[in-house]
Amino acid sequence: MCTKVLIVGGAGEMGQWFARFLMRQNYAVSITDIDPTAKEVAKKLGAGFVEDASETAVDFDIVLVSVPIDVTEEVIRSIAPQMRAGSLLMDITSIKKGPMEAMKKAPKGIELIGTHPMFGPMAPDLRRQTVILVPVQGRSEHWLPNIRELFEENGAHVEILTAEEHDQIMAIVQGLTHFAYIAIGVTLNTLNFEVRESRRFMSPVYEIMVDFMGRILAQNPHLYAMIQMNPEVKNVHNAFIAQCKDLAKDIEKGDVERFVRSMRSAAAHFGDTEAALKRSDKLINVNIAELDELAQSVGIERGLRHLYSGAVHVGIVEQVTPSHIILKMRGRRTKLKIENIQLLSTDELLQWKIDNLRHHRRDISVALPEKVQPDVIVRIISGIDGVVSAEEIDTYKIKKGCSSITFRIVILGDKKPKEVQGAVEELLKGIGGEIR
Amino acid sequence: MCTKVLIVGGAGEMGQWFARFLMRQNYAVSITDIDPTAKEVAKKLGAGFVEDASETAVDFDIVLVSVPIDVTEEVIRSIAPQMRAGSLLMDITSIKKGPMEAMKKAPKGIELIGTHPMFGPMAPDLRRQTVILVPVQGRSEHWLPNIRELFEENGAHVEILTAEEHDQIMAIVQGLTHFAYIAIGVTLNTLNFEVRESRRFMSPVYEIMVDFMGRILAQNPHLYAMIQMNPEVKNVHNAFIAQCKDLAKDIEKGDVERFVRSMRSAAAHFGDTEAALKRSDKLINVNIAELDELAQSVGIERGLRHLYSGAVHVGIVEQVTPSHIILKMRGRRTKLKIENIQLLSTDELLQWKIDNLRHHRRDISVALPEKVQPDVIVRIISGIDGVVSAEEIDTYKIKKGCSSITFRIVILGDKKPKEVQGAVEELLKGIGGEIR
């Protein structure tokens, strides 16, 4: 029988993510949510819907709490007493101390695993993502191996921490980096600095930095507020603001030596800055390389895969700007945003054409010496440019030592069939055949 | 005759960069520098060396000042009076107001172009880099088109600004972004936070952000100090610190609504955060895709190009960790840092082998009908896996309607020549030939 999971807050973005993920892993998922659209969401997900969690929590093997941080503890306190012994209570909030304290008050016999999936609802899957698990001594032993395996089998990197360790590390890893990016964004707003306008003055390095700031500003601000509500961030913010003031003072006073000392010592503490430099170089070069290849493709047929719809656009590249590409297809022009597309390689484009175009079929009969092996000829014909496939469909003897063989060839849909047929016939003549 | 350029401060990193760049463009470059190794540097560069700039400045068409910002104005003041009418004075500092004021005091008849190359000495070339030029009304007209063309022809994006516009924009584009990253680095140092250790808890997004911080910490701190000495940054720093304090206060008070409002309004001001999100997604996915492909290559032969030495390593992938890859080549194991290598595609690896291995040569004689066209057969043989090239080296008639043709085939160095020869012979038999 399937493991039954109830996702409390299952209509939220992360709740839906987990519903889809767990259903793919053959869990029987139901959701409950105070959101009035929750029932519809459940239907769309193909998940069960539970109106009153307190009545039905007893039926589930796992209750996963996926609600905003500011109500997580309250929801845990109200649902835990309804759960049955041997079942598992999990949360997925990005702070662990408060929620874990609340979870520990659950009736004995209920297992507990605090969970922090370090990704947002946009993540397509768990590959290369990190999930932090916070088990409780004596209260996680049965379920922990299963849950760990669930994440690891799907490509996640799992780390086990205590709630205290988690909150301290996250106060920096998420707390400080988000904070700094958001503060930059707010500052640009205050100074009325036009980011779009400023792209003209950006090097590839700045462009990437600005894009990551934009990335964070694009996210759900409530989620980001909740991450900042980690009590450990206060010290981190204070330390950061103090360092900003200190650096700003050095700069204002023109104290180059002190600034240089701070930066050097930070670099020494950071460790392998050289590796960071090279990794970032690599990313920058990937960025440049694609734009260069696009720019060099003007006048050439290319295939572009739309990263979000999955659709493939094939046409002659007419124009490439830093933000757009214009593709001409049978007289029609299509303008695509560069951030939405991925350039297909020649092989990928060919494969797409083979899979998607309506191809031409031609039969070619040829007189060849009897000892010729038709399967070898088929292989040779298949290698000709524009031929999708070839097969021998008929062979009979014409005269002593001489057969007539008919090959059926499939010609790529966007090639001129006459030209490809001509090339095949030239080849057959070249190996001594006579076209009939 | 070549345009003669004197680079003042030509032994510095950027000075050397410009010396190499200009020599590649066929400028006659000399350098001068107070650095005691300057003469050796000039020799290594293949540039001229000038001991006393004040005596020889008169001989040059262009004097390019490439010295630290804090002495730029002084150097400009001392060299400008030595230059000859019609020549061009340029600087390459990242602040423009002060240096331009100093340049404007140059004797009449000397042209002036303030220059800010927005890249560091690590940039391999000008592709996709931005160069900001600050001309002076009535004093740049002759040289500006040449200098602009010099940069643009080499792939740079050139922007023309006034000194004031430049300093205001750069106070944010460079001033604020560097400042925030450096402040984060200094904070991590103060908090004694182990960056290396924390990588275990990072998602692909954080890894990239941390790498860009490391990237900045890896640079010359003096250069970064100089960029911060832009007088316009003071306001920007103050605004940033004020916003940090404000946000930190909202968070401490638990004022989620105010935090959310600030973030929303910053996002609205930023503009197209969706595009930023997607561009950053693309980069993250490129990062993941290469690591995935490496991980899936265990047990398979792959080619890895070292990004810095250019050397290509070919071998069976034995192990892939998040930081290293171990390649087994003829019993020897080589451990390579992932940030230093680029995975070659199958086609790239094949091309490398064709260009670099010692290949095998075999001659194959075959009896074929006289009407066979040897060039067609050569083309067919060349398409066989493992064949680098083929040619017809001898043909004579054996009997009526039948020729003996000898083909010389070159077999890829790492293939078993017997196997490839066998495949060629099978094919020749398949088209009715008789191996002799």
Q: What is the ipTM of this complex?
A: 0.80
CATH code, B65: 3.40.50.720
Percent of chain A past pLDDT 90, that is, above it, reads 75
Q: What is the pLDDT of residue A100?
A: 97
With respect to residue B114, please indicate whether it lies within any of the assigned structural domains. Answer: yes
Whether residues B208 and B119 fall in one domain: no
Q: Is A284 domain-assigned?
A: no
**Same domain for B124 and B230:** no
Q: How many domains does chain B have?
A: 4
Whether residue B189 sits in one domain with residue B93: no
Tell me the one-letter amino acid at A129.
Q
The confidence score (pLDDT) of residue B202 equals: 76
H or E element: which one contains A161? none
Say yes or no: A220 and A141 in one domain: no
**Domain assignment of residue A102, given as a range:** 4-161
Predicted pLDDT of residue A324: 87
By CB atoms closer than 10 A (0-12, 13-18, 19+), residue A358 is exposed
Q: Is A310 helix (H, G, I), strand (E, B) or coil?
A: coil
Q: How far is CA A422 from the centre of its chain?
A: 45
Find the CB nearest A203 among B129, B195, B377. Answer: B129
Q: What is the CA radius of gyration of chain B?
A: 31
> Band of the pLDDT at B53, cuts 50, 70, 90?
confident
Are B430 and A377 within 8 A, CB to CB? yes
Contacts of B196 in chain A (CB under 8 A): 271-272
- Where among B236, B269, B302 does a domain terminate? B269
pLDDT in tens, B71-130: 999 999 999 999 999 999 999 999 999 999 999 999 999 999 999 999 888 788 898 789
Q: Rounded distance, CA A183 to CA A244, Å?
A: 12
Give the span between the Cα atoms of A22 and A16, in whole angstroms. Answer: 10
Which one of B216, B264, B265 makes the best mutation probe of the A interface by having the most chain A beta carbons within 10 Å? B216
Statement to judge: residues B388 and B347 lie in one domain = no
- First vs last Cα of chain B: how many Å apart? 66
> A interface mutation test: which of B209, B285, B324 has the most A CBs within 10 A?
B209
Average per-residue pLDDT in chain B? 92
Q: Are residues A178 and A70 in the same domain?
A: no
pLDDT band at B187 (very low <50, low <70, confident <90, very high): very high
Would the CB atoms of A221 and B429 count as touching at under 8 Å? no
Q: Report percent pLDDT > 70 for chain A.
A: 100
Across the interface, of B187, B218, B265, the residue whose CB is closest to A243 is B187
> In this structure, what CATH number is given to the domain that contains residue A248?
1.10.3660
Same domain, B211 and B103: no
Amino acid identity of B22?
Answer: L
Residues of B in contact with A175 (CB under 8 A): none
Closest partner residue to B195 among A159, A203, A270, by Cβ? A270
What is the CATH classification number for the domain harbouring A401?
3.30.70.380
- Predicted confidence at residue A419, as pLDDT, reads 96
Confidence of residue B209 (pLDDT cuts 50, 70, 90): confident
B182–A342 CB contact, under 8 Å: no
Interface test with A, best of B134, B229, B280 (most A CBs within 10 A): B280
Q: What is the pLDDT of residues B366-402, one digit of tens each?
A: 999 988 999 999 999 999 999 999 999 999 999 888 9
Residues A310, A324 contacting (CB under 8 angstroms) = no
Closest-CA residue of chain B to A126: B203
Please compute the mean of the pLDDT values over residues A299-322 and round it to a whole number: 90
E strands, B323-386, are 324-329, 332-337, 341-343, 360-369
d(CA B167, CA B231): 8
Over residues A10-19, the pLDDT tens digits come to 999 999 999 9
Residues 6+ apart with CB under 8 A from A84: A58, A59, A110
Contact B270 A195 (CB under 8 A): yes
Question: What confidence category does residue B207 fall into, taking pLDDT thresholds of 50, 70 and 90?
Answer: confident
Per-residue model confidence as pLDDT tens digits over A137-190: 999 999 999 999 999 999 898 999 999 999 999 999 999 999 999 999 999 999
Convert the pLDDT of each residue in A215-244 to its tens digit. Answer: 999 988 988 998 998 999 999 999 999 999
Q: Is residue A430 in a domain?
A: yes
The domain that holds A316 is classified in CATH as: 2.30.30.100
List the single residue in B with minimal CA-CA distance to A226. B256
Inter-chain touch B244–A240, beta carbons under 8 Å: yes
Residue B274: inside a domain: no
- pLDDT of A22 above 80: yes
CB contact under 8 Å between B380 and A377, yes or no, is no
Q: With beta carbons under 8 A apart, name residues in chain B contacting A248.
A: 179, 234, 237-238, 241
- Give the CA angle between residues A381, A382, A384 to the nearest 5°: 70
Higher pLDDT, B196 or A392: A392
pLDDT at A155: 87
- Cβ <8 Å between A129 and B283: no
Q: Do the chains contact at A215 and B234, CB–CB below 8 Å?
A: no
Residues B307 and B261 both lie in one domain: no
Q: Taking CA B46 as the corner, what is the angle to CA B40 and CA B52, rounded to the nearest 5 degrees? A: 60
Q: Judge whether A282 lies within some domain.
A: no
pLDDT in tens, A75-101: 999 999 999 999 999 999 999 999 999
**CB-based burial of residue A142 (10 Å sphere; 0-12 exposed, 13-18 middle, 19+ buried)?**
exposed
Residue where a domain stops, chosen among A355, A378, A396: A355
Partner residue facing B188 (CB), from A222, A269, A281: A269
Look at residue B143 and tell me whether its pLDDT is greater than 80: yes
Sign of the four-CA dihedral A99, A121, A290, A322: negative
Establish, for the pair of chains A and B, how many residue pairs have beta carbons separated by less than 8 Å.
419
| Distance to chain B for A60, nearest Cα, Å | 31
Banded pLDDT at B195 (limits 50, 70, 90): confident
- pLDDT at residue number A196: 83
Long-range residue pairs from A266-271, CB within 8 A, at least 24 positions apart, any chain: A266/B182, A266/B185, A266/B186, A266/B188, A266/B189, A266/B217, A267/B185, A267/B217, A267/B218, A267/B221, A269/B185, A269/B188, A269/B189, A269/B192, A269/B195, A270/B185, A270/B188, A270/B189, A270/B195, A270/B213, A270/B214, A270/B217, A271/B195, A271/B196
Angle (CA) B19 B21 B23, round 5°: 65
Does position A197 have pLDDT exceeding 90, yes or no? Answer: no
pLDDT at A74 over 80: yes
- Residue B218: closest CA among A207, A202, A270: A270
Of B370, B380, B371, B369, give the one whose Cα is nearest residue B407: B380
Same domain, B298 and B317: yes
Distance set, CA A130 to CA A117, A276, B199, B287 (Å): 6, 20, 10, 15
Report if residue B282 sits inside a domain: no
Nearest to B244 among A203, A244, A264 (CB): A244
The neighbour count for residue A268, using CB atoms within 10 Å, is 11
Token pair recorded at residue B30 = 């000399």
> Looking at the structure, do residues B43 and B134 belong to the same domain, yes or no?
yes
- Please name the residue of chain B whose CA is at the shortest distance from the CA of residue A278: B339
| Domain identity same for A98 and A69 | yes
- pLDDT value for B109: 94
Shared domain for B74 and B122, answered yes or no, is yes
Under an 8 A CB cutoff, do A248 and B179 touch? yes
Residue B53 within a domain: yes
DSSP single-letter state for residue B173: I
In a domain, A274, yes or no: no
pLDDT band, residue A333 (cuts 50/70/90) = very high
Model pLDDT for residues B250-303, shown as the tens digit of each residue? 999 999 999 999 999 999 999 989 888 888 888 887 777 788 888 889 999 999
In the predicted structure, residue B409 carries a pLDDT above the cut 80: yes
Question: What residue type is assigned to position B86 of the chain?
Answer: G
Radius of gyration of chain A (CA): 31
A51 to each of A55, A81, A82, how far by Cα in Å?
A: 9, 18, 15
Residue where a domain stops, chosen among B161, B196, B211 = B161
Q: Could you read off the pLDDT of A33-73 as tens digits, one per residue? A: 999 999 999 999 999 999 988 889 999 999 999 998 889 99
